């Protein structure tokens, strides 16, 4: 994640909106820094091993006031705040200095769900530090009611010590790589045989590109739709399935309105969490799921999406598939680093596993506070990539859900029109599934 971020920015941006804070800007900064200094994962940075003889290490660092950026935008409206956040989405942190930064926007007017001036905070965090679930846990440690979080400082290894350790470990690493490679080859052959016998869902073929798969042009837009969680909660389907159904409606409508053909295999990459042991900080993968846009009955469409997602989960979790990834874990750092450097992002792929991305994360109960103000909603903006100019995120906290759209004008020149289509599609899905939102 760290090495790839230089070529493909992958920072996470966790937005939390707090209603009517009672503290001023200086007090907000002080309160946050005091809490952050007690959370272990926020008191580290990356230290590279000379000549990439081994993977980078996490070492302690001192949190400084500049880790918190407090600002009051000239346009203090909610739309003005979102415009500033769109600019943030083009930036990255330097994990060798700090793997995170907090952006605080004060006195934001007319924010959704808020009764008075709001404080909007955006926790920008390197994906190398933690994944989506882990970053939500860090935010809960920062803004939650638990005051017991604490931090134990470790020593910082010298460059000489890191090199010496790497040299000693090198023969063991090469042995592990060879053994893991043999094991991965065996697992691959097993997965093919199982799929041929119908005992494992087969590998999903690629999907044709649509407008959303255009290369981003460097500009970013952030749009959010805040609704009651009940608006997407169904007795028969998870929130993720209802959201995918709504996206199938919105994307299809958007393409048709612009004279484009809607592919029958229109699909989305869906983030799937993995339960694994060890010290990995990123435990997830993306699986391609069909959106079945030509099925007119939305309930039937949702059932198709549900069944396909279940099949993709089964394949992703099967030992014959997970074992194949273990060879990368056993590969010496210098080899992986060379592969990252040579990785060519300039080519446009012929097909994609999904025409957009959907990440769905539950961020827990709405018992977070900042500056004395209660949290009203949370949001996030999954990263773009050379073949993915529009991504989506679903984030829930308490009884509120936010569907977020991260886009580039190259792929989505009119994001506000698309946001309107999302709102209509949510209502259409709710009607089809007989969902009656309540506060």
Domain count, the chain: 2
Tell me the pLDDT tens digit for each residue of 181-209. 888 899 889 999 998 999 999 999 999 99
The rounded distance, in Å, linking the Cα atoms of 211 and 414 is 12
Residues 13 and 142 grouped into a single domain:
yes
**Structural tokens at position 412:** 């989505």
Least confident span in 91-95, 159-163, 317-321, 354-358: 159-163
In a domain, 153, yes or no: no
* Domain-terminating residue out of 133, 162, 191: 162
Q: How far apart are the first and last CA of the chain?
A: 40
Confidence (pLDDT) at 10: 92
- pLDDT surpassing 70 at residue 312: yes
Confidence (pLDDT) at 119: 95
The rounded distance, in Å, linking the Cα atoms of 64 and 32 is 11
What is the average pLDDT across 104-117?
95
In a domain, 372, yes or no: no
- pLDDT surpassing 80 at residue 157: no
Residues 119 and 21 grouped into a single domain:
yes
The rounded distance, in Å, linking the Cα atoms of 144 and 139 is 8
- pLDDT surpassing 70 at residue 113: yes
**Structural tokens at position 350:** 């012929």
**Structural tokens at position 111:** 């924010």
Confidence (pLDDT) at 184: 86
Strand, coil or helix: what is 231?
A: helix
Query: When comparing pLDDT for 350 and 159, which is higher?
Result: 350
Residues 285 and 417 grouped into a single domain:
yes
Residues 242 and 347 grouped into a single domain:
yes
**Structural tokens at position 436:** 């009656």
Residue 73 lies in domain: 2-147+158-162
Confidence (pLDDT) at 233: 87
What is the average pLDDT across 298-315?
95
pLDDT category, 432, cuts 50, 70, 90?
confident
Confidence (pLDDT) at 276: 60
Residues 40 and 137 grouped into a single domain:
yes
In a domain, 109, yes or no: yes
- pLDDT surpassing 70 at residue 148: no
For residue 14, what are the β-bridge partners?
123, 380
Q: Domain of 411: which CATH number?
A: 3.30.559.30
CB 318 within 8 A of CB 202: no
CB 289 within 8 A of CB 314: no
In a domain, 198, yes or no: no
> To 10 degrees, the CA torsion angle through 10, 12, 13, 18?
180
Helices (H), 1-131: 2-5, 25-36, 78-88
- pLDDT surpassing 60 at residue 358: yes
The rounded distance, in Å, linking the Cα atoms of 57 and 76 is 41
The rounded distance, in Å, linking the Cα atoms of 183 and 188 is 9
What is the average pLDDT across 387-410?
97
**Structural tokens at position 4:** 């790839």
Judged by phi (left if over 0) then psi (alpha if -120 to 50, else beta), residue 259 lies in: left
Q: Which residues contact 208 (CB under 8 A, 6 or more apart)?
A: 263, 265, 351
The rounded distance, in Å, linking the Cα atoms of 389 and 383 is 9
Which of 157, 134, 146 is closest to 38 using CA atoms?
146
Residues 93 and 239 grouped into a single domain:
no
CB 382 within 8 A of CB 393: yes
CB 355 within 8 A of CB 210: yes
Confidence (pLDDT) at 179: 84
Confidence (pLDDT) at 95: 96
Residues 276 and 413 grouped into a single domain:
yes
pLDDT category, 334, cuts 50, 70, 90?
confident
Least confident span in 276-280, 288-292, 346-350, 430-434: 276-280
In a domain, 129, yes or no: yes
Tell me the pLDDT tens digit for each residue of 35-64. 999 999 999 999 999 888 888 999 999 999
Q: pTM of the entire structure? A: 0.93
Q: Domain of 7: which CATH number?
A: 3.30.559.10
Residues 211 and 340 grouped into a single domain:
yes
In a domain, 215, yes or no: yes
Residues 30 and 143 grouped into a single domain:
yes
In a domain, 176, yes or no: no
What is the average pLDDT across 108-131?
95
* Domain-terminating residue out of 162, 187, 222: 162
Name the average pLDDT for the chain: 91
| Percentage with pLDDT > 90 across the chain | 69
Residues 217 and 71 grouped into a single domain:
no
Task: For strands 356-362 and 267-273, give the pairing.
Answer: parallel
For 323-359, give the DSSP string: HHHHHHHTS-HHHHHHHHHH---SSPPS-BS-SEEEE
The rounded distance, in Å, linking the Cα atoms of 181 and 173 is 12
Strand, coil or helix: what is 188?
A: helix
In a domain, 379, yes or no: no
What is the average pLDDT across 358-362?
96
CB 41 within 8 A of CB 138: yes
Residues 56 and 127 grouped into a single domain:
yes
Confidence (pLDDT) at 165: 74
The rounded distance, in Å, linking the Cα atoms of 328 and 330 is 5
Among positive and negative, which fits the CA dihedral 308, 314, 268, 245? positive
The rounded distance, in Å, linking the Cα atoms of 439 and 437 is 7
Tell me which DSSP letter residue 366 carries: S
Tell me the pLDDT tens digit for each residue of 253-266. 999 999 999 999 99
**Structural tokens at position 47:** 């230290």
Residues 141 and 214 grouped into a single domain:
no
Tell me the pLDDT tens digit for each residue of 268-305. 999 998 766 556 788 888 999 999 999 999 999 999 99
């Amino acid at each position: 994640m760290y090495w790839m971020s230089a070529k493909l920015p992958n920072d996470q941006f966790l937005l939390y909106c707090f209603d009517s804070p009672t503290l001023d800007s200086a007090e907000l900064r002080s309160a946050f820094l005091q809490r952050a200094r007690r959370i272990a994962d926020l008191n580290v940075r990356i230290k590279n091993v000379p000549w990439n003889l081994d993977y980078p290490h996490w070492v302690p660092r001192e949190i400084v006031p500049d880790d918190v950026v407090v600002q009051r935008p000239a346009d203090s409206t909610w739309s003005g705040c979102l415009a500033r956040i769109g600019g943030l989405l083009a930036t990255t942190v330097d994990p060798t200095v700090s793997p995170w930064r907090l952006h605080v926007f004060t006195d934001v007017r007319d924010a959704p769900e808020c009764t008075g001036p709001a404080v909007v905070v955006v926790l920008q965090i390197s994906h190398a530090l933690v994944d989506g679930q882990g970053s939500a846990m860090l935010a809960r440690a920062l803004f939650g009611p638990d005051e017991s979080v604490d931090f134990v400082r470790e020593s910082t290894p010298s460059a000489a010590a890191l090199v010496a350790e790497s040299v000693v470990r090198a023969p063991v690493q090469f042995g592990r790589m060879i053994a893991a490679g043999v094991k991965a080859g065996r697992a691959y052959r097993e997965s093919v045989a199982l799929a041929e016998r119908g005992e494992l869902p087969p590998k999903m073929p690629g999907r044709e590109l649509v407008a959303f798969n255009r290369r981003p042009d460097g500009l970013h837009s952030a749009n959010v739709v805040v609704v009651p969680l009940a608006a997407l909660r169904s007795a028969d389907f998870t929130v993720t399935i209802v959201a995918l159904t709504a996206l199938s409606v919105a994307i299809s409508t958007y393409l048709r309105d612009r004279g484009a053909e809607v592919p029958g295999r229109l699909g989305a990459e869906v983030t799937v969490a993995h339960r694994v042991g060890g010290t990995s900080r990123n435990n997830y993968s993306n699986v391609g799921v069909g959106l079945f846009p030509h099925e007119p009955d939305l309930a039937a469409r949702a059932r198709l999406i549900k069944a396909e997602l279940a099949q993709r989960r089964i394949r992703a979790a099967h030992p014959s598939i997970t074992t194949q990834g273990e060879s990368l874990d056993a590969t010496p750092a210098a080899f992986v680093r060379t592969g990252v450097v040579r990785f060519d992002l300039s080519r446009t792929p012929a097909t994609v596993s999904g025409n957009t991305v959907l990440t769905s994360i539950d961020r827990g109960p709405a018992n977070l506070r900042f500056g004395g103000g209660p949290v009203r909603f949370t949001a996030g903006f999954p990263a773009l990539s050379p073949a993915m100019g529009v991504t989506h995120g679903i984030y829930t906290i308490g009884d509120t859900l936010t569907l977020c759209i991260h886009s580039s004008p190259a792929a989505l020149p009119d994001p506000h029109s698309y946001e309107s289509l999302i709102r209509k599609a949510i209502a259409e899905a709710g009607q089809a599934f007989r969902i009656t939102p309540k506060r």
